[in-house]
Chains A and B, each alone.
Chain A
Amino acid sequence: MPATTSPSRDYRGIIHQLSRDIMTGWMTQLKEATHDGTPAGYLMISGNCVEILRCFDILPVFPEINALQLAIRKNSLPYIIKSEEIGYASDNCAYVKADVGYTLCGGVGVDGNTPKPALIICNFVGCNVYIKWFEHCSAMMNVPLVMLDIPFLREDHPSDADVQYVLCQLRELIAHCERLTGRKFDIDRLREILHHSARAEDGWSRAKDLCKNRPAPFDAYFDSINMMGPINALRGTKEAADFFDRTVAEYEGMVADGLGVLDEERFRIVVEGPPPYPHYRNFRNLFETWKAVAVQSTYSTVGGIWEFGFRHDPNRPLESIAEQMILHNLCNRSLLERYKQIQSYVRDWQADALVIHGIKSCRLFSAGQGDMREYFAREMGVPTLMVESDLEDPRYYAEAQIKNRIDAFFEALQYKRLRGERAEAARAEQVEAR
């Protein structure tokens, strides 16, 4: 397809600012909770059950978001080094190292920005490093760890035993929260919270769907971060649901006006893998130069895959929480399921190419991406580029090398397109001549 042009516009302004506002509100709460005694609970992002914590007014804390914030503000390296000083290996996940280093330096607790948790909930949803990370947090801060072991999706559907196991653990978590807060579990409150969740998920899904338009109204890789905070950390609040209403309205307006992310959308890409947060802007620029826009991304679905229809259900509160944790998030699904997800993205969002960003820190994402490249490039005929760096450790980002690969890839893609267009024109001429 030829490039789509639209007037230039500061597309990031409104949604970015809205996201920033509500996330800052949550972070202010975290800061206040370091002193005011509000109970806080650690959770991991993927397939989380934040709604249950919210039901008891336990403030959710996500160490992954802490690590992300450190990286994007270019503050991660000193904390990574701090962790390496106490024995973490250079080959360990740098998200863990940055967060642990931050904790060791006093970032968590009365003198920091993050409250010391009253409990640590290890929602083990696919990523085995989660378990270690939270074991370390539990040992270092002497806080009890509650394990929520979520069986990996290893067949088409979870077994009844899988579901019962998760439901039982969710009930045990609820009992734990009751003991911690001295409050009785209120199922009606949970239903109300889940209603907000479902509304936010609906908005997320509609926004993602709008990227099927040409031009796409936002970059589903780089700009999805604006929506990932609200959907993963603030899910279950009215503010998050309202945020998505505003987001959808904004993007629908852009689609109606024919506005895209850039003044020109030359290439539509699907991106696999987390971004290099310490070099976020630079990395983005490498694609913008080529007017390449991500119309879908797998990373944005680590917390939950909502675009294929799943919603939390207030009428089946615990059951739908269990289903989301087992089934509807990227981390608890196999690599081959991810291949299918990408295939659907390429087909239904009409992408020209797949870009794989492999990161050293996260083996869940990256182990085997060479096979993914092989599968898409050779067997599916999708032009595929693979570049590598890290999502947290700035030392693994080699811009010149990455730029060379990206430039060469899009140059080849452009040439291929030109050749196709010329051949098409020649064919049309021949037909006309006849």
Chain B
Amino acid sequence: MSVETIMQDCRDLLELLPAQALSKAQQRYPHVGGLAVFPVYAPLEIIHAAGLMPVGLFGAGDKVELSHADARFQSFICSIAKSTLELFLRGEMKAFAGVVFSSICDVARNLASLVRRNAPELYVEYLHLPQNMYSAASQDYTRAEFERFRTNLARHLGRSIPDAAVARSLELYNQVRARTRELYELRRARPGVISAADTYAVVQAGTRMMPEEFAELLEDLLFNLRQRTGRARDGVQVVLEGAFCEQPPLALVETIEAAGCIIQDDDLVVGWRLFSDDVPVHDDPLGALAQAYLRDSVYTSVRHDRDRPRTEGLTRRVERAGAGAVLFTPAKFCEPALLDYVLFRQRLDETGCPHLKIEFEEKMWTFEATRTEVETFAESMLFD
């Protein structure tokens, strides 16, 4: 497949509602069910090993008008929570075997309760992912939490999810994550061959495919991109930070690029590519996943890591990307991102790294003001 065809397929996939994406996947994998995964992270391997396709549940973007959820959530609640609830209230998630949420923020926690009450026929799981990475009990706790998830899911489905199956899925997801890392490295090294917007479209589309299919697609894409000769435009090299949960409209990323920024790295869809290295595959795959979560996760705003603070994570990301600035892109009303902005900003000011904050909403449809703002920012850096 050509790069253009792959891109078009990925963008088409992002136009679908989660259940439509599942239905599309079922054309190729007729016996597979679906489990919706609310951001940021869930052990996808367990879901896949259960014979289900993990499907990223990043709200409904601009595909659904809110007619019920607005009455349940107040005006100061983020869009992703509202549009996700809307999907459940409208019965748009009935094709799924269930949904998994985790302890990322106060809104997500209450959202899980609302889904449980308003979609009683669905299996709703809530994971408490650890916030203490260094207790002597952290590994046992995290493994036990993944085990609890496996046990509950197996009970719900009426079939076991053996270690061997999880290990096979782990191997597959290792491939997916490694190729995704490779895609990011390729883009960093040769930004002319693929835009950040296209990379984003591919990675997000990957949350709506079986990992087998996505691994193939990535291999194909990487092969094609390596043959490409593209020269990057001049621009300011930046890192995007803050959109780890609710995802910005593709057009926002395109606007930032069109306004003169070369996005060298980002935290978009970060939960699906959380580990910075392969997870070792051995006879205790859940233990390996727990270890990876504790020790090998990249920093995010929803995970406290005493010895690896986020501010240092961002500084390192900027250095590694060779970026000269940071664009903060928190979703409107996203409390973790907005609170982290304060310490990030302080650190960047100390290191003399310019930054700009642009809040977004998933239903955002006009980007002129953002374009002007980013253009001004980029120009101010070019003439500095």
Contacts and interface: CB of A to CB of B under 8 A. Distances in A.
A, B: real partners: yes
Interface of A: 86-89, 91-93, 96, 122, 124, 126-129, 131-133, 135-136, 139, 145, 147-149, 151-152, 154, 159, 161-162, 164-165, 167-169, 172, 334-336, 339, 358, 360, 362-364, 366-371, 374-375, 388
B376 interface: no
Given A132-B335, A132-B340, A371-B117, 13 more contacts: A86-B342, A88-B339, A124-B304, A128-B106, A129-B335, A172-B136, A334-B126, A367-B110, A368-B111, A368-B114, A370-B73, A371-B118, A374-B72
Nearest to B341: A87
B104 interface: yes
Given A131-B304, A149-B132, A154 B126 contact: yes
Interface in B298-356: 302, 304, 306, 309, 311, 332-333, 335-336, 338-343, 345-346
Contacts of A358: 74
The 10 closest A-B pairs by CB, nearest first: A161-B144, A168-B137, A335-B113, A165-B141, A149-B132, A132-B339, A363-B106, A370-B72, A364-B106, A149-B131
Contacts of A87: 341-342, 345-346
Contact of A336 (B116, B128, B132, B336): B116
Contacts of A148: 132
B338 to A, nearest CB: 4
Given A161-B145, A165-B135, A145 B105 contact: no
A92 B338 contact: yes
Nearest to B69: A370
B148 A159 contact: yes
Contacts of A367: 73-74, 77, 81, 106-107, 110-111
B113 A91 contact: no
Interface residues of B, number: 53
B74 to A, nearest CB: 6
Nearest to A388: B74
B113 A152 contact: no
Contact of B339 (A124, A129, A370): A129
B128 A169 contact: no
A308 to B, nearest CB: 20
Contact of B336 (A128, A151, A154): A128
Contacts of A167: 137
B103 interface: yes
A128 B107 CA distance: 10
A136 B335 CA distance: 14
* B106, B135, B306, B335, most chain A CB atoms within 10 A: B106
B141 A151 contact: yes
Given A89-B338, A136-B342, A368 B128 contact: no
B109 interface: yes
B110 A363 contact: yes
Interface of B: 71-74, 76-77, 81, 103-107, 109-114, 116-118, 126-128, 130-132, 135-138, 140-141, 144-145, 148, 302, 304, 306, 309, 311, 332-333, 335-336, 338-343, 345-346
A92 B126 CA distance: 25
B128 A127 contact: no
B118 A363 contact: no
Nearest to B71: A370
Contact of A96 (B73, B117, B130, B339): B339
Contacts of A161: 140-141, 144-145, 148
Given A334-B112, A358-B74, A363-B110, A88 B126 contact: no
Contacts of A89: 338, 341
Contacts of B135: 149, 165, 168-169, 172
Nearest to B301: A132
Nearest to A334: B113
A297 to B, nearest CB: 19
A129 B103 CA distance: 12
B336 A132 contact: yes
Contacts of B110: 334-335, 363-364, 367-368
A336 B118 CA distance: 11
A343 to B, nearest CB: 13
A228 to B, nearest CB: 21
A152 B108 CA distance: 13
Nearest to A336: B113
A145 B306 contact: yes
10 contacts: A92-B338, A135-B304, A147-B306, A149-B132, A152-B126, A161-B140, A169-B137, A358-B74, A360-B74, A368-B111
A368 B73 contact: yes
Contacts of B73: 367-368, 370-371
A128 B335 contact: yes
A167 B114 CA distance: 31
A152 B345 CA distance: 31
Contacts of B76: 91, 360
A133 B106 CA distance: 14
Given A93-B335, A371-B117, A135 B74 contact: no
Given A91-B338, A369-B74, A152 B109 contact: yes
A165 B72 contact: no
A363 B105 contact: yes
Nearest to B359: A89
A5 B190 CA distance: 81
Given A131-B131, A168-B137, A367-B74, A136 B343 contact: yes
Contacts of A154: 126-128
Given A128-B103, A135-B343, A154-B128, A335 B137 contact: no
A366 B338 contact: no
